[in-house]
Amino acid sequence: MSYYFTSESVSEGHPDKIADQISDSLLDNFLAFDPESKVACETLVTTGLTVLSGEVKSEAYIDVQDVARKVIKKIGYTKSEYKFDADSCGVISAIHEQSPDINQGVERESEEEQGAGDQGMMFGYATSETENYMPLALDLSHRILQELAKMRRENDKVQYLRPDAKAQVTIKYSDDDKPEAIDAIVISTQHDDFHYEDHTMLERIKDDLVNILMPRVIATLPDNVKALFTDEVKYHINPTGKFVIGGPHGDTGLTGRKIIVDTYGGKGAHGGGAFSGKDPSKVDRSAAYATRHIAKNLVAAGVADEVLVQVSYAIGLADPMGIYVNTNGTAKVDKSDSEIAQIVGKIFDMRPAAITKRLKLKNPIYSDTAAYGHMGRKPEIKEVTFRTAGQKRTLLVETFTWEKLDYVEEIKKEFGL
């Protein structure tokens, strides 16, 4: 019997995502000028106000208000009618120094024995149903909003678009867990308050999103995914009608409230820890990236069609409490999931310092992760420049290192593939 699965994404202008992007931009600036910075930044955004809080231990001095305003401006909140804009919103900082009680559990004389910054469990997931080894419903949701943001910035036929938006995709699956068709797509986008003589506001927006946005999205997809878009797809565009009041004026935004959007859209599992604003000594972030790296390389190597990896830690201890692997019955090797987990533990050093070194996580690479998902993105090497408080630093960094398929050959060798 077939079934349906749904995932959603939110745009860079969603209030929670504004908060994530500010938090990660603060982190990047601290790391750019001091790679050993310990950072846990939280952001709140609401009508006319941004509040920065959290704990930092760093040799760098950062103009945090300037960093926050630059992020808000880049996203597109630049008009006073939004009731939240880069130039006029208040920015309050309540950032203070990291607790020495936490710090003593993390730092060690030997860097390799660095302890985990907290207890907890982290999950990584990968599936063969898409080219980037992500669940299809979430991948499509991200793509829709990324293309919508491009259209907004082009400012051509859709000048009325404002930054806040959400997308949701429902997929029909077959008995053998294969996508059969796109069943429904929901898109809610903030817009200017306007009226056209020949169309109502809702009709114009629906027509533009179905006939301009979606063909642009579909054109970027591989043929097997394009085939899932039939004439039977149900589109729900701004189903409540008017969506003028949005962004931080419509809803207060907080760092870390979109952890399912950030990861796998409800597929696999999640340990509960948010990512944005946290340096890599926080295993909530670094170990979640490391387990995604493992899961993706296992699937790409042909060990299984679907892999869920869990790792857990105790605060202050370097070695994980355990590594768990679940292939959901899709394993292609003659080994149990527990045997696969044992081999994974031999291939991948999961101590926090080893993860940080392997994935190059002390670099300022996190702003790019803070919208449209931390997983499934394309790794690239690029030059980045940071300017704050009269300082300037230009660095060459590698982004989304946990998405690299750099362990496939080693895994094949270990599994005899």
Question: Which residues are annotated binding-site positions for K(+)?
Answer: 42
In the chain, what is the greatest distance between 2 CA atoms, to the nearest angstrom? 72
CA distance 299 to 119: 28
Annotated binding site: 14, 16, 42, 55, 98, 164-166, 242-243, 251, 257-258, 274, 278, 282
Residue with tokens 């940080």: 356
Q: Which residues contact 320 (CB under 8 A, 6 or more apart)?
A: 287, 311, 312, 313, 350, 351
CA distance 370 to 12: 8
Annotated binding site for Mg(2+): 16
Reading the block at residue 56, the tokens are 């930092």
CA distance 295 to 324: 11
CA distance 27 to 108: 22
Residue with tokens 């898109």: 187
Q: Hey, how many other C-beta atoms are within 10 angstroms of the C-beta on 246?
A: 24
Reading the block at residue 307, the tokens are 């892999």
Please give the DSSP secondary-structure letter assigned to residue 230: -
Residues 393/397/400/404 CA torsion (nearest 10 deg):
-170
Query: Residues 52, 276: contact at Cβ < 8 Å?
Result: no
CA distance 19 to 256: 8
Query: Residues 332, 128: contact at Cβ < 8 Å?
Result: no
CA distance 412 to 417: 5
Query: Residues 147, 325: contact at Cβ < 8 Å?
Result: no
CA–centroid distance for 127 within its chain:
17
Q: Which residues contact 156 (CB under 8 A, 6 or more apart)?
A: none
Reading the block at residue 224, the tokens are 């097997």
Beta strand 253-254 pairing with 38-46: antiparallel
Annotated binding site for L-methionine: 55, 98, 251, 282
